Structure 1
């Protein structure tokens, strides 16, 4: 196998270097997904393959953390005994937690690959300008997506926009606002450079509306209410997407609601076997927190469609274990193929509702809230007119709508300043003012002495 110098690898991927290295630390085999510019950018098909590998990294390597983020707050309960996962369940991560280290490294690996695409694509004369624009826009979208999770989980992160190892080896953490500015810039560039149409028959590569969807979330998190509403309204008013009448169809490949999905090879998500028990007699590894289950109204269609239950009899005791059932496939399924949902229309309604409420447009906020409630089979929301009641209902609906998905619950409670109040009151191991930020993996701090550990670790 061709060898390459360690200096070609990004500093923030020290854990990958450790995995790939052997006794000779001077040279290591290139990781399987590592980009090599002289090959990747030789023609358009190779460039697409390289970009596709970045998308696949989200679905196969990053999404696995969703169940751990759900454990970290109050979505799931863990019934097994893996120490790194128990730390997530206790909301008390060590600096050497392997799952946390993998999440950090996988996200920065995506960023590195996107940087490599952006650095090399313009120099290739064999690729058309229109094609370069699309690939550049997608790379910026994916880089922004990765940075969005890094900034919300770790807060104090380096902003790396190059593959230059001499620069990355001493990079310092950036102010969070600078990271958000880069995320916003990347998404605005991506939205401008992407077409409304999808590439191919599936919704598995970003289009203009995918960039707008993530941009609306970014504006919401920065409390830029007017801009968040504007982006969400553009998507809703495009009429390209619609809420599915059947909740069982939401997570199917190319559902009407999907704005962006990640392709799956066999019609089921990569960690389906960990989420869905192999039989009705098994206790699920990740069960729904009883408080979450009880938060659903008995008439809520989401409870009927997105939650399944195993009833276990042991001696004279009977116990019910509820688990996520948004994705139904545990094995190959070509009849009802499922793709991993990344961005969907229901989020845009709830984003717009919250943005409208903060701008005192309570009639508009009410319309959006009730669009989601009506789809779930619930009665319309009634309020005395206090903005606080609207905001509380929106967070409640976000909990019921996005449980188990991509760390929504953690990030929602964090951005509204409710983590300590809600999670701190239910977990004795929660540390007020500290547990809302994950630790920087210790390997990264050893590798780059300019990185500083987050408070409390």
Structure 2
């Protein structure tokens, strides 16, 4: 745990360098490289600093993406969050900029490590190998999110700001091709084992799971099936009951975001504090209504109450456990086995391997305690079942719903009926104003100012 704290301090010291990422070349960057990567301890601390990105994707950004899609209804007072809930984002939105900055900071950190490794003579080969694998994983992880949120983005593979300050947006397929290459190499160099048996540092299975997610996004169905099968057939992970998925020690979790207390912020931010009024973060009636009443996920992951004659539902995937209560800790989940069954089911459906697609989806339905799929579904009906299953299984975990609706081309069909004045151009968010101000070569997304 102490090493994670060291990494947090290091990360804070380096953050100002990221502010200059698209501005002018900073000689101080080379001084940071020289001092940070002079030993196993400093290289390891730099690698651990990458994991700040996973914490940064917790509140508010996960909630903002859920509001932007159709998972949360926002009833709170924060004006910037209301922009996400009403799909009224503009380029000066603070949370939009903070997320962009966090993702490119991870890119910057990853590039810095990759550049420094060949010249880090006092670092052992084992530490170098792990550092390279983690840097490649996080660069791919960041670019996966950048492209899925903003579309075409600058592709930055160096820390030299003289170069990056003139970076232009490139086709997202080119960016995702780099992410694919990075994850393939990360998978080849990362070890299978975890450090201390806790899933807080990415291992080979984490790179494999992320690669399966990327292939699904790219519609590379055979590759997605292959990578998800590798995770499932490894038997390293299991599917516990829904009320145990997020508990510390869960055998389903492939990668989780570390935090000092062991109790994720997501477990408290999205739960009401006043049960006599509408909650700030209300689960959408359509999402809640999609569950059957006997679904164990519905029972464990949602709760409801009545205020002023209106029934409101809220998120309880995390139970707001605290150290003071003496209850078990929880994982802020980034990657888990349940998603891999969903990836393989969708890949198989698109490969016309319907029996396999049925089997994978029914595996999760058995876990949820609900009836198996009706036989005789055609491909379109089966894919619709998978879409709903992903919604029910992965709601308010990362950006799944928003990304799913985009990659399947169904974002307009789904959101137009529930979002007043929905426009197709809102499928991507505005490039932050500050970035365009620094680099006028970056062109804004359509219909944003």
Check whether TM > 0.5.
yes
Q: Determine the structure 1 residue equivalent to 2:297.
A: 302
Q: Determine the structure 1 residue equivalent to 2:428.
A: 437
- When residues 61 and 368 of structure 1 are mapped into structure 2, their CA distance, relative to the original with a 3 A threshold, is closer
Give, in whole Å, the separation in 2 of the partners of 1:368 and 1:35.
51
Q: Determine the structure 1 residue equivalent to 2:288.
A: 293
Q: 1:122 aligns with which of 86, 93, 118?
A: 118
Q: Is the 8 A contact 1:35 1:116 kept in 2?
A: no
Q: Determine the structure 2 residue equivalent to 1:358.
A: 350
Q: 1:144 aligns with which of 140, 146, 150?
A: 140
Other structure's SS at 2:311 match = strand
Structure 2, unmatched stretches of 5+, are: 1-12
Q: Is the 8 A contact 1:274 1:285 kept in 2?
A: no
Q: 2:183 aligns with which of 178, 182, 187?
A: 187
What do the CA deviations read for 1:227-286 (whole angstroms, capped 9, x no partner)?
Answer: 000000011000000100x21110112311001111121121124332122354464211
What do the CA deviations read for 1:130-174 (whole angstroms, capped 9, x no partner)?
Answer: 220111001110111111000001011001011101001111111
Matches within 5 A, 1:273-292: 273-278=268-273, 280-281=275-276, 283-292=278-287
Give, in whole Å, the separation in 1 of the partners of 2:33 and 2:427.
39
Q: Determine the structure 1 residue equivalent to 2:265.
A: 270
TM-score (ref. length: structure 1):
0.90
Give, in whole Å, the separation in 1 of the partners of 2:327 and 2:359.
36
Bigger drift between 248-257 and 333-342 goes to: 333-342
Q: 2:247 aligns with which of 240, 252, 268?
A: 252
What do the CA deviations read for 1:18-62 (whole angstroms, capped 9, x no partner)?
Answer: xxxxxxxx99x99xxx99223321211222222212212321456
Q: Is the 8 A contact 1:10 1:165 kept in 2?
A: no
Q: Determine the structure 1 residue equivalent to 2:237.
A: 241
Q: 1:224 aligns with which of 220, 229, 244?
A: 220
Q: Is the 8 A contact 2:44 2:127 kept in 1?
A: no
Tell me if 1:338 matches 2:330: yes
What do the CA deviations read for 1:424-444 (whole angstroms, capped 9, x no partner)?
Answer: 12212311x201011000110
How many residue pairs match? The answer is: 435
Other structure's SS at 1:434 match = helix
Please report how far the alpha carbon of residue 110 of structure 1 lies from its aligned counterpart in structure 2 after TM superposition.
1.0
Give, in whole Å, the separation in 1 of the partners of 2:262 and 2:121.
37
* Structure 1 segments (4+ residues) deviating >4 Å: 4-14, 279-282
- When residues 401 and 6 of structure 1 are mapped into structure 2, their CA distance, relative to the original with a 3 A threshold, is closer
Q: Determine the structure 2 residue equivalent to 1:368.
A: 360
Tell me if 1:451 matches 2:427: no
CA RMSD of aligned residues (A): 2.4
Matches within 5 A, 1:25-424: 36-60=32-56, 64-244=60-240, 246-278=241-273, 280-281=275-276, 283-312=278-307, 317-329=308-320, 331-332=322-323, 335-424=327-416
Structure 1, unmatched stretches of 5+, are: 18-25
TM-score (ref. length: structure 2):
0.92
Q: Is the 8 A contact 1:70 1:404 kept in 2?
A: yes
Other structure's SS at 1:36 match = helix
Q: Is the 8 A contact 1:216 1:229 kept in 2?
A: yes
Q: Is the 8 A contact 1:8 1:163 kept in 2?
A: no
Q: Is the 8 A contact 1:221 1:415 kept in 2?
A: yes
What do the CA deviations read for 1:334-377 (whole angstroms, capped 9, x no partner)?
Answer: 53111210000011101101111111111111100100111000
- When residues 76 and 371 of structure 1 are mapped into structure 2, their CA distance, relative to the original with a 3 A threshold, is same
Other structure's SS at 2:210 match = helix
